[in-house]
Structure 1
Amino acid sequence: MPRYHPFLVALHWLMALMILVALAAGRLLLANMPPDSPDKIAGLGGHMVFGMAIGVLLVLRLVTRLRSTHPPHAPTGNAVLDRMSVWAHWAFYALIGGMVMTGLAMAFGAGLFPIVYGGAAQILPPGLQDLPQREAHGLIATALVALIALHVAAAFWHQFARKDGLLRRMWFGKRSTDELAE
C-alpha cells in the first residue's frame, strides 16, 4: 500500500493535534472568559502562538505536498464522492489558511500583540467580539469543525466499511521501493 511522505505524515498528525487544541481553546475557553480576566490575556497569547505556528506548518505542508510524490486519492466507488474528496482536502488548506489570516487580521486590527505580549496595558480593547475579523474567524472555525468531522467519518468509513486500509497511508511505516526512489 503506497504511503504519504513521512514528513507529510508527521505534519498531518502534529497539525491535527494543534488545530484541535486551538479550536477547543478558542471555543471552550477563550469565548467563555470575561474580557477583563488576566487568564484571558494569557490564554489568548497561547492561542495566538499556536495559530501562527499552525500557519508556518501549513506552508511547510503545502510545499511538501506539492513537491513530493503521494498516493492517489482513495476511490470511494462513486465519482461524485471522489471529486468531493479532492475538494475537501484542498478546503482544509483554505480553511486553515483562512483561520490564520483572520486571526492575524484581528490581532493587528485590535492591537493585540503589544497587549498580549507586553509593552502595553494588559487590557483587551472593547468591542473585540464585534470585529468583522472575529466574526469571520468564528465562521471559518465552524466550517473547519464540520470538515474535520466529515474527514474523520470518511476515514473510518474507508477503514472499517470499505476495509481498504486507508489509515495506513497516513501513518508511519516503510514506503515501497518505488516511493523511496522519488
Structure 2
Amino acid sequence: MAPRGYSRAQIALHWAMAGLIAVNLIFEDWIKAGWESIEDGFGPVYDAGALAHIGIGVAVLVLVVLRLALRIGRGVPDLPAGMKAQERLAAHLGHAALYALMIGVPVMGLLAWFLASDDLAELHELGKPAFILLIAVHAGAAVWHQLVRKDGLMDRMRRPG
C-alpha cells in the first residue's frame, strides 16, 4: 500500500534540493571566472564562486541519490483519484524529467569542469532553461491541483504521511 504522504525526510530533501538548485540557477555567474580561465588555457580557478557552484552541484547529486533511495524503499503517495490516464502519464514523465535533470546537469557540469570540455559545458548550460521550464510546470501543476481541482495533492508534500 502506498503511503498517504511523503515522509519528513522526503519533504526535507525536496525543499533542500529546490533551494540548492535555485541558488545555482540564480547565481550561475559564480563559476564564470573559473570557466574563462579554462577557456584561456590556464586551467580552472577555484575561487569562492566556483567552489560554491561545484559544491552545490555535488550536494544536489548526493541528495538526489538519497531521494531516489527513499522513493524506491518507502514509495510515494498515489496520485489523486480521478486523474485521467494522460494526466498520470504527464505527472510521471515530468517527475522523471526532473530527476534526469537533477542527475544529468551536475554530472555534465562536473565533467565539463574537470575535462575542460566546451561541448559538455554547453550541455550543462542547456540545463538552466530546461530546469526553469520544468520547475514552472511542476509548480503550476501543484497550484492547479490546489486551487482548481482541490484534490489535496499539495497536502502530500505539506504533511508527512
- TM above 0.5, one fold? yes
After TM superposition, list the pairs within 5 Å mapping 1:1-182 onto structure 2: 2-26=4-28, 29-30=29-30, 35=36, 41-74=47-80, 77-110=83-116, 131-173=118-160, 175=161
Q: Give the 3-state SS of the residue equivalent to 1:166 in structure 2.
A: coil
Whole-Å separation in 2 of the counterparts to 1:100 and 1:168: 30
* Aligned-residue offset at 1:78: 2.8
* Aligned-residue offset at 1:77: 3.4
Contact conserved, 2:94 with 2:134, CA < 8 A, in 1?
yes
Contact conserved, 2:31 with 2:49, CA < 8 A, in 1?
no
Q: Give the 3-state SS of the residue equivalent to 2:22 in structure 1.
A: helix
Pairwise CA RMSD: 2.4
**TM-score normalised per structure 2:** 0.84
- Alignment deviations for residues 29-75 of structure 1 (CA, whole Å, 9 cap, x no partner): 34776947xx9932111000000011000101001110003211235
Which deviates more, 1-10 or 151-160?
A: 1-10
* Aligned-residue offset at 1:108: 1.0
Q: Which amino acid counterpart does residue 69 of structure 1 have in structure 2?
A: G
Which residues of structure 1 form unaligned runs of 5+?
A: 111-127, 176-182
Whole-Å separation in 1 of the counterparts to 2:22 and 2:157: 18
- Alignment deviations for residues 86-140 of structure 1 (CA, whole Å, 9 cap, x no partner): 1111111111111111011012112xxxxxxxxxxxxxxxxx7xx0111000112
Whole-Å separation in 2 of the counterparts to 1:75 and 1:90: 21
Give the total of aligned pairs: 151
Which residues of structure 2 form unaligned runs of 5+?
A: 38-44
54 and 76 in structure 1: CA distance in 2 versus 1, 3 angstrom threshold: farther
Whole-Å separation in 2 of the counterparts to 1:40 and 1:159: 44
**TM-score normalised per structure 1:** 0.75
Matched with 1:117 is none
